[in-house]
Amino acid sequence: MAATTHTVSNQVPPLTGYDVFAADRALTEAVQRHTSPGLLAEVRGELGELGRSAGSAQVQEWGAQANGNPPVLRTHDRYGHRIDEVEFHPAWHRLLGHAVTAGLTDAWGRPGGHVRRAAGFLVWTQAEAGHGCPLSMTHAAVPALRTDPALAAEWEPLLTSTVYERGLRPAAQKAGVLLGMGMTEKQGGTDVRANTTRAEPLAAEGEYLLTGHKWFCSAPMSDGFLVLAQAPGGLTCFLLPRVLPDGTRNPFAIQRLKDKLGNRSNASAEVEFDGTWARRVGEEGRGVRTIIGMVAATRLDCVVGSAALMRQAVAQAVHHCAYRSVFGGVLIEKPLMRNVLADLALESEAATVLAMRLAAAYDDGSESERAFLRIAVPAAKYWVTKRCAPVVAEALECLGGNGYVEESGMPRLLREAPLNSIWEGSGNVQALDVLRALQREPMALNAFLQEVGGARGADHRLDGAIRDMLTELADLEGIEARARRLAERMALVLQGSLLVRWAPPEVADAFCASRLGGDRGAAFGTLPHSLDLASVVERARPVAP
């Protein structure tokens, strides 16, 4: 009789069949904090439903299928007709359809809309991040379109619809649409003012024909796109539909799909415009000012998306360590592993609390909150998105070799982690945007200082960090070379202030000691041993399946 060699033991059950929202204490507390009491039960209900779906085995399988079967470009049909269509796996459409139905493209017209949408986006992104691109673009297009009331009246109800209709048809014939964006070009990249795409005006007011090449076009199967092009009056924003009102295809030649490091389920394309019809959005020569509202909203989604990736990585690491035994006990009880998990949990909670505070500022809409967002969004986008990759990499290591294989899902998270720090302006762009806000908008700095000042006197390490930040701000001469340092310091002070006010004492204490007091090493897992690390880890633990 052959020996039994395949007895399986000490393996961790999959983290599935759980409520992603309810298991996240930092997120549930933020939603309660930033939602009016009369609305709270409704919001909790919808987020709980979304959380249970995101944590289900079925949706997790959709995520794996969508990434295992990347989109395919079909330039021509079988008869030789140019069609320029991208074919997605059915799982992509299931994920996107569920997200649209859950309201993840609509934050602008609902009470508490930005908080509930940001929380939902944070929950649903943990199932699969790639399809967040069309969701984010569609949601973020609304403020840009509102610069033209006629366009907004026509498109906004479709953009905020909870109906997902795949396929290319005239937008007026659909119950819901998606929008993409095309700004960057080969020669310019970040410097969109160097764009060479031309826009020639037609006889009809506000109508143009576009000719040019876009180096990165997001979500190429969307129903329309916001793009920048050079009109006679300068760089201008345009709305470009994929299908014209009479049902004919607008010239939109997809040259290729980008072969990306991660984000494999999502299509990013190079496209050519050749006499492509578009409608002007805003005034000629004011394209950047027109589209900046969209950019700001997508930058917030970068913060939320990175917080989601961090949360899922930390949840997987804590879950693994709660079951895996080594050297006579489970990993989660080993002091050194507990230190690593607590350190990761701090980063994740700080990102979540900051993301939700920014969403609440959007809902408030007051002049002071808008000023706060002007400086807090680029600072948060700079720091949170940069912390994502090292957090995910360390969380993967908590699973050891099991985390390095594709079946664990951790490699997909790691490949996705750097994206948000690049998308919508890389780190230098965000740091320079913080400087611009400081130099041009005094109200922004005042609003920021008022926000962080809300916790002054509560923790001496936070107070010291605020003083250091003010010293840094006092000398703006030649500050460009220090812009990253300043953006990092401002983001950390803001996170510390929020955690001191709202997080449990053990979380705030550990964050201030390590991030503001400097009592840590250069790697994760080097927190002061005297802290209450067990409570920090337990708070980050997802509900057991």
- HSE-up of 243 (CA within 13 Å, CB side)? 19
Q: Please report the pLDDT score of residue 190 as a whole number.
A: 76
Is 13 within a domain?
A: no
Of the residues 239, 260, 285, the one at which a domain ends: 285
The answer to whether position 11 is within a domain reads no
Please tell me whether residues 279 and 307 are part of one structural domain.
no
Cα 444 to Cα 160, 313, 323, distances in angstroms: 30, 34, 47
Give 270-310 as a DSSP string.
Answer: EEEEEEEEEEEES-TT-HHHHHHHHHHHHHHHHHHHHHHHH
DSSP per-residue string spanning 19-41: -TTTT-HHHHHHHHHHS-HHHHH
Same domain, 71 and 183: yes
H/E stretch holding 52: helix 37-54
Q: Quote the CA–CA distance of 450 and 25 in Å, as a whole number.
A: 27
Contact criterion met (CB below 8 Å) for 280 and 236: yes
Q: Which domain holds residue 373?
A: 289-540
**pLDDT at site 1:** 56
Q: Is the pLDDT of residue 2 over 70?
A: no
Same domain, 383 and 527: yes
How high is the pLDDT of residue 4?
Answer: 74
CA atoms within a 13 Å half-sphere pointing along the CA-CB vector of 367:
4
Give the number of other Cβ atoms within 10 Å of residue 312's Cβ.
Answer: 28
| Residue 10 covered by a domain | no
Number of domains in the chain: 2
**Overall average pLDDT of the 41-56 stretch:** 98
- β-sheet bridge partners, residue 271: 214, 254
Per-residue model confidence (pLDDT) at position 383: 98
Mean pLDDT of 449-476: 94
What distance, in Å, lies between the first and last C-alpha atoms of the chain?
Answer: 37
Domain-ending residue, one of 254, 285, 316: 285
The bridge status of strand 224-231 relative to strand 325-326 is unpaired
CA separation for the pair 534, 545 (Å, rounded):
21
Residue 253 and residue 164 share a domain: yes
Tell whether 271 and 308 lie within a shared domain: no
| Percent of the chain clearing pLDDT 90 (strictly above) | 93
Domain membership flag for residue 16: no
334 and 275 in a common domain: no
**Could you tell me if 277 and 298 lie in one domain?**
no
Is the Cβ–Cβ distance between 444 and 375 less than 8 Å?
A: yes
Examine the domain organization and report whether 94 and 113 are in the same domain: yes
Could you tell me the CATH number of the domain that includes residue 185? Answer: 2.40.110.20
pLDDT digits (tens, 9 = 90+) for 293-302: 899 999 999 9
Where among 285, 302, 337 does a domain terminate?
285
CATH of the domain at 419: 1.20.140.10
Residues 116 and 227 in one domain: yes
Angstrom distance (rounded) from CA 213 to CA 96: 28
* 4 falls within a domain: no
